[in-house]
Structure 1
Amino acid sequence: MESVRTTTTRPAAWLMLGIVLVALNLRPSMAAVGPLLSAIRSDIPLSFSLASLLTMLPVTAMGLAMFFGLGISRRLGERRTVLLSLLVIGLASLSRLFLDSAPPLIASAVLAGIGIALIQALMPALIKSHFPDHVALCMGLYVTSIMGGAALAASLAPLVLLHGGSWREGLALWSALALFAAMAWQMQGAGSSPVAAAKAGRESFFSNARAWWLALFFGLGTASYTCVLAWLAPYCMEQGFSEQHAGLVLGFLTAMEVVAGLAVPAIANRSRDRRGVLGGLLVLIIAGFCGLILSPHHLGLLWPCLLGLGIGGLFPMSLIVSLDHLDDPQRAGGLTAFVQGIGYLIAGLSPLLAGFIRDRSGSFEGAWWSLTAVMALMLLMVLRFDPKHYARHIR
């Protein structure tokens, strides 16, 4: 077991830099697939339903792995858990250089999802423990970095294909980023508290109604993210965009997520009541989906901008609201692990359902309308997040 190293013995900026570099690796394995899907499908026979597994299964694996991620962290310590996870992500990405059929390609996606989940299970508790006075800001930086990794992958992967590479190289090059992050994390050497981790690992939230409500809210919100990540680029190509243009549209959307991930938590940090901010973000997402369906060729960048700002802000705010319910960092980390575990299982279904709708109807518009209705439902759920009642729901 490793002993605690607080920010008093290690510069907080170096720890935050390590977290940022690690977070950059949590989406490229999925974000690079959409812009390259046409090239992949020309080489490997994939229906849209089967192609959806490249996003669905890693997200589902992320959900399942959340439930034992804290247990692994308790045994290995934070530093070794993150290092192991980065190596798993890097290996999954590198293996794509040698794939020639659908099953191993899907298996690589699942392997990456497990590595991603182990990191995401422990990061909220680590942030709340090391940065107790700046949770919203640091969570914003962490989530923004996740979105930034997605933006890099969506923008650069099709450029690799354009300049004489293959889709395999476009998917595999992200193993280098994982290796770099692993070296940086090893050098700054974060540790963990075995006592605190054990405490977090023992508590179960399965019988708590508010924990399920938070998980449902996180899952439905993340469903919009995973579905857009999987299908926005293919939808753009159906509208006449080139692979490179479609990849840049997805990259622009994820860049807007980065902006929102930085700005929204800082704005929300002014008040413990997050309902107004959450409602505004959901309205942005609804407007983005409606524009994407009704007028994809007019004001073309406005709709991905609105979607990116809404989704990019909603993701960290969903986790911040969960962290708000408990003051103890390790209990709050256990709650967010539960919320993400259930939430990713819910969110993992959205790419599959959208792919099924596309195969049956010949269009993604039905999927976008369905997600619009879900966001409207979430506006009603937001009303339940009154901070005056948090202590009553989770003691």
Structure 2
Amino acid sequence: MNRNRCLHVLTIIAIVGIALNLRPVIAAIGPLLDMIEVETGLSHTQSSLLTTLPVFVMGLCALFARQIAGLFTERSGVILGITLIFVACGTRFVATSGLSLLSSAVLAGVGIALAQTLLPAFIKRNYPNEAGRVFALYTTGIMAGAAIAASSSAMFAERSGWPFALSIWAIPGLLALMLWLWATKSEVSLKAKPSIQTKRQNFWRNRRAWELMLFFGVGTAAYTLVLAWLPPYYTNLGWQPSAAGFLLGGLTLAEVIAGLAVSAWIGHFNDRRQPLFAALFLLIAGLACLILAPLKLALLASLLLGFGIGALFPLSLILTLDHIHDPTEAGMLTAFVQGGGYIIASLMPLLAGVMRDQFADLTQAWVAMIIGAILLLILCLRFSPSSYKNIHS
């Protein structure tokens, strides 16, 4: 294997390494939420902010992607992002009050936003002929990190306490930072600037960009909803926190499998609507199981939700990338879509927390998500390949 090929593979590994660290700071919260509420005195609505705040900040920062791209190189922006995640996780070992946890959530949100705002352009530029596959690996890495954190956080908490279970994710963050520094040494002076030939588009005034944002946002709302509230839903039904954590871990593992399947087979679908329809039907079926028979169909529900969400997340971003060929403009469109989309998605855990405070139940939240998924089925009809030109209108 020649040197360029080795560097090529190493860089992909580094991208996946960064991706693995973009969700544990959020995913570790769900299985520990009841413990955190008892010891900090946070209400269900307040504790939902531990998921809502980082996702909201991720979206807010992504909306300023052009400014961020002007301030940082892709390499340095990702370095700062993963460093902030490392600090946010590390401080949770000693800063355990409700306010401290919420502050670390905001800090983590900024770090995640920096990394995932700049990485799409990096992928599009360095892997122009296989951007879809690399991006699918990247999104699969995100879901794998969530799976590991969700399934193990309750175990760590039982052995060493919940502050340790939240702070241990600083270690893989440090390892990912070192790997990224090593793999991207040749990128030191490379700026993320728009191509001279490309006219910068105002996506705020583009209807298709807003459609993509809405699609990504509502789809990701399903992800943030189950990430925050599936374990508490089952602990409220009598499950142990570790069992609820494993259920969420199984769900996120199914997401990883779905993401790998998307990476392997996405090239066979020039019309992305076909796999998108399949993903949405799986999501609706999983939510229906949670409503109709949550105890008897717990495993089936987690698998259906995992496969649906796991395919929907990368497909939504791949669909966005399909609309623009220029790497920097594609990165800016992706940032716009993720920015507004994550703001939309951040509201779902908060809504579920309010519903749990009001009704002591989460059934209404699952129903609301089904309605959102049905709306996505209707919107999906508009995304024919011939319609991609609408992004330039």
Q: State the TM-score bracket (shorter-chain normalisation).
A: over 0.9
Correspondence 1:1-395 to 2 at 5 A: 11-163=7-159, 165-189=160-184, 191=187, 193-194=190-191, 196-197=193-194, 203-394=201-392
**Paired amino acid for 1:359:** D
Aligned-pair CA distance for 1:378: 0.6
Superposed CA deviations along residues 33-83 of structure 1, whole A, max 9, x for unmatched, are 010111111211011100110000100000011123443343331221111
Distance 1:278 1:269 in 2: 14
Aligned-pair CA distance for 1:208: 0.5
CA contact (8 A) 1:137 1:265 kept: yes
SS at match of 1:241: coil
Distance 2:5 2:293 in 1: 55
Q: What's the TM-score once normalised by structure 1's chain length?
A: 0.95
CA contact (8 A) 1:54 1:109 kept: yes
Residue 3 of structure 1 corresponds to: none
Distance 2:96 2:299 in 1: 35
Residue 4 of structure 1 corresponds to: none
Aligned-pair CA distance for 1:100: 3.5
CA contact (8 A) 1:129 1:329 kept: yes
**Paired amino acid for 2:344:** I
CA contact (8 A) 1:275 1:383 kept: yes
SS at match of 1:128: helix
Unaligned runs of 5+ in 1: 1-6
Note closer, same or farther for the CA distance 1:102–1:8 as it changes in structure 2 (3 Å cut).
same
SS at match of 2:202: coil
Note closer, same or farther for the CA distance 1:196–1:107 as it changes in structure 2 (3 Å cut).
same
CA contact (8 A) 1:278 1:317 kept: yes
Question: Among the aligned pairs, what percent are the same residue?
Answer: 45
SS at match of 2:193: helix
Aligned-pair CA distance for 1:272: 1.7
Note closer, same or farther for the CA distance 1:270–1:158 as it changes in structure 2 (3 Å cut).
same
Distance 1:144 1:195 in 2: 24
Distance 1:184 1:228 in 2: 31
Aligned-pair CA distance for 1:202: 5.3
CA RMSD of aligned residues (A): 1.7
More displaced stretch, 131-140 vs 262-271: 262-271
Superposed CA deviations along residues 298-329 of structure 1, whole A, max 9, x for unmatched, are 13211100000000110000000011011111
Note closer, same or farther for the CA distance 1:329–1:44 as it changes in structure 2 (3 Å cut).
same
Distance 2:166 2:314 in 1: 26
Note closer, same or farther for the CA distance 1:195–1:155 as it changes in structure 2 (3 Å cut).
closer
Distance 2:94 2:100 in 1: 9
**Paired amino acid for 2:132:** A
Note closer, same or farther for the CA distance 1:316–1:201 as it changes in structure 2 (3 Å cut).
farther
SS at match of 1:97: coil
Aligned-pair CA distance for 1:362: 1.1
Unaligned runs of 5+ in 2: none
Distance 1:337 1:76 in 2: 15
Distance 1:90 1:213 in 2: 34
CA contact (8 A) 2:65 2:332 kept: no
Superposed CA deviations along residues 164-185 of structure 1, whole A, max 9, x for unmatched, are x111000000011110000111
Aligned positions, number: 388
Aligned-pair CA distance for 1:392: 3.4
